[in-house]
Amino acid sequence: MINAFLKSLEDPDRPLFGPNYWLLNKIGLILPENSTQRLFAIIMHEVATYFVISQYMELFVIRSDLDLILTNLKISMLSTICVIKANTFVFWQNDWRQVINYITEADNFERENQDLAKGWIINSYTKYCRRVTYFYWGLVFTTSVTVTTAPLMKYYSSSKFREGFRNGTEAFPHIFSSWMPIDKEHSPGCWITVLWHIGICAYGATVAAAYDTCVMVLLVYFRGKLELLRIRCREMLGTCGQGISDEDTISAVRQLHQIHVLLLKHSRLFNSLLSPVMFFYVVMCSLMICASAFQLTSATDTTQKLLMAEYLIFAIAQLFMFCWHSNDVIYKSEEVMLGPYESEWWAAGLRQRKSILLLQGQMQIVHIYTAGPFTNLTLSTFVAILKGAYSYYTLLRK
């Protein structure tokens, strides 16, 4: 049943991006052509934005309780990142479509002009994209289920809490901490709030799954494209050691220039879309990891520890996957310049070697993805964020 569902997500026109494009459409990040559906999608995103505002409004109400403040901030920061992702994707809709259309066209071009070596790379990054996408969807789904069922688990696992809830010393166990214009501690307001929180949680989880896997697949594709470009540079002067004509060399070098220029153009466009979001994410992720770690070590209830551990794992895994794939693209872009050196340049004439030198100079441009103007998305950044989160954690413990 699951396999049949996953196969239904495949798109022959988008052999690499099919499942990701499907989810982007379903959650409304790619706006529908129908004006009514488009308006509904925009309203849905802005309703989620209102929910985030209500979370920060609740901070004023609970300002005297440190544990409640940390719980609120941990979730509200994650919610903030979700609505930033959704709103920037909608606001920069045309640019996102341009990047997605580019990788679709470029990927189809590679599939139509593949040999044994290129085919192995294409199949490799396609399978990897599917594994990353479905693994991340599973991680998000697990986190969403854990969050929504945590209050219920807390109620049934703690007799002390049940007794306190009955005599009025314990508050109603809500999923999130947010302000409501109704009485959320008593029926029917408490159940309306529960339904509202469940809907928001489902929305946030779907946005995170759609946006994050979209970014990861794009990063994986750029890495694969650089590997394919290196092979094309290696084969541009033939493979038999006899050389090729000047006209064929000029044609091959021109095509490689065009491929690299288009790749660089859309890679930089992609970075301009991702960088502002990653800036907010990197800043808030340190605080979110710190809050989760503090509550995990200070919690006494098993259910609360499970929830904190899930949040901590999700935050670290999310950050690691962004930094890992971005770092991989940087590494491959530094290797692509070796392609012209690996070609049969020694069999080329003087004119051909001049063209190869120009191409090799262009290949030295490194693809770097950033988190705002302050840092690059690399593994060293990931380690630095964990160190910063640990420093905040030790400060709170004292």
Burial of 398 (0-12, 13-18, 19+ CB in 10 A): exposed
pLDDT attached to residue 377: 87
* Cβ atoms of residues 282 and 381 within 8 Å: yes
> pTM for this one?
0.89
Which residue is listed with tokens 């808030």?
284
pLDDT of 1 over the 80 cut = no
CA–CA separation, 220 and 206 (whole Å): 21
The two structure tokens encoding residue 393: 């954690």
* Cβ atoms of residues 44 and 203 within 8 Å: yes
∠30-33-39 over CA atoms, to 5°?
80
Q: Which residues contact 200 (CB under 8 A, 6 or more apart)?
A: 48, 51, 79, 176
More confident residue, 115 or 205: 205
What letter does residue 346 receive in the DSSP assignment?
G
pLDDT attached to residue 388: 75
Average pLDDT value for residue range 247-258: 83
Cα-based distances in Å from 341 to 26, 217, 310: 46, 29, 48
Beta bridge partners of 376: 370
Q: Report CA Rg, the chain.
A: 25
CB atoms within 10 A of CB 298: 15
Query: CA neighbours within 13 Å on the CB side: how many for 187?
Result: 0
The two structure tokens encoding residue 233: 């540079």
Q: Please tell me whether residue 396 adopts helix, strand or coil conformation.
A: helix
Average pLDDT value for residue range 292-296: 69
* Cβ atoms of residues 396 and 389 within 8 Å: no
Q: In this predicted model, what pLDDT tens digit does every residue of 130-177 receive, in sequence order?
A: 999 999 998 888 888 888 887 777 666 667 766 776 776 677 777 888
More confident residue, 295 or 320: 320
CA–CA separation, 93 and 32 (whole Å): 11
pLDDT attached to residue 84: 92
Which residue is listed with tokens 């709170």?
396
